[in-house]
Structure 1
Amino acid sequence: MFTFDDIRAIAVQIEHNGETAYRKAADRVDDPRLAELFRWMAEEEQRHGRYFAGIKGVELPVAGAEAAQRMGRDLLQEMVKEQTFSLDLDDLAAAVDVAAVLRQSLTFEEDTILFYQFLGDLIEDAAVKEQLTAIIAEERRHVTLLDGMLDDGGA
């Protein structure tokens, strides 16, 4: 059976992937403004991960459990492993172009939003759904910031 605990573990891993990658990006860039942005985003991801790790006692509704089961534990785990759902730390560390780092980060944030929207469709607990909505809004702000930086030429 596919449980909310399985989904929660994946969400925690996604946030950990983002935190780690943003901290590496902060160490790689020469521009202090970008470094500060990446450190801030790492802190955001860390906070999101702590939130997901702290959710206890949530059960998926029957329809949600069936949908999650159809999707399959293996599929979700593969999504997290794929580059489109985690920042590739080697590529990020090797990036010499700030725009490339920003594009990778943007893809990660967009994929994270899609996953959390999927979660939102499965969860009935009002408090968890409200917090998830707030996290999605924060991830959208990350997308807006990254888009703006790319529009400014990557700096």
Structure 2
Amino acid sequence: MFTVNDLIDIAVRMEKNGEARYLAAKKQVKEKKLQSFLQWMADEEADHCQWFENKKHHWVPETHQTDLETMLPDVIKEMMGDKALSLDDVNFSQVGSARALLEIFVSFENDTILFYEFLQTFIQEPDVLAGLEKIVAQEKKHVAEIQKMIQALADEETR
């Protein structure tokens, strides 16, 4: 049986995972600008994690928790495992360039956005919904910023 709080736990794991991966990537890249960017991304993920942890019991009253087993599409059920929207299966030592690394992060951020948009459907508290909408907007900003970095790296490669 899955509850909304189980979905929130997945969100916390996703944010912690993102933070750890951005910090690990920061250690692997040499460009100072990219290191600074990855630190910013890690800090954003840490802030999101804290928000989810602080709001966990404000999403819906425990008496209104729903058995989501029959409601969740198969793809979301697969996310319930230990590798929920995880970057754990990416072998970063095999990533050949900063550009390729950033492309992996775009995919992760987009998956996160989709999951959070799905999660919004279960929120009843207006303040919590507004907070999650803000996080979704920040995640979209992350994608836009990563794509700018990818473009900047592509421009450098063509010079």
What TM-score does the superposition give when structure 1 sets the normalisation length? 0.85
Once residues 137 and 68 of structure 1 are traced to their aligned partners in structure 2, the CA distance between those partners, rounded to angstroms, is 28
- Residue in 1 aligned with 2:7? 7
Gaps of 5+ in 2: none
2:83 maps to which residue?
A: 81
Structure of higher CA gyration radius: 2
Q: Sort the Cα spacing of 1:74 and 1:110 in 2 relative to 1 into closer, same or farther, 3 A.
A: closer
Give CA deviations for 1:55-106 in whole Å, capped at 9, x if unaligned.
124327999836564217843314x616xx2223752244231111101110
How much does 1:150 deviate? 1.4
Residue aligning to 2:96? 96
Deviating more after overlay: 125-134 vs 54-63? 54-63
Distance 1:126 1:68 in 2: 25
Equivalent residues of 2:2, 2:69 under 8 A apart:
yes
Structure 1 residues 57 and 134: alpha-carbon distance in aligned structure 2, compared to 1, 3 A threshold? closer
Distance 1:76 1:90, change over 3 A: closer
Shift of 1:4: 2.0
Aligned to 1:129: 129
- Kindly indicate which of the two structures has a greater share of residues assigned to helix: 1
Does the 8 A contact of 1:21 with 1:92 survive in 2?
no
What is the total number of aligned residue pairs between the two structures? 152
Q: Which amino acid aligns with 1:77?
A: M
Give me the whole-angstrom Cα distance separating, in 1, the residues matched to 2:146 and 2:7. Answer: 27
Identity of aligned residues (%): 31
The corresponding residue for 1:52 is 52
**TM-score, normalisation: structure 2:** 0.83
Deviation at 1:14, TM superposition (A): 0.3
> What value does the CA root-mean-square deviation take over the aligned residues?
2.6
Q: Residue by residue, what CA displacement relative to the aligned partner does 1:2-48 show, whole Å, maximum 9, x if unpaired? A: 22211111000000110000000111100000000001100100110
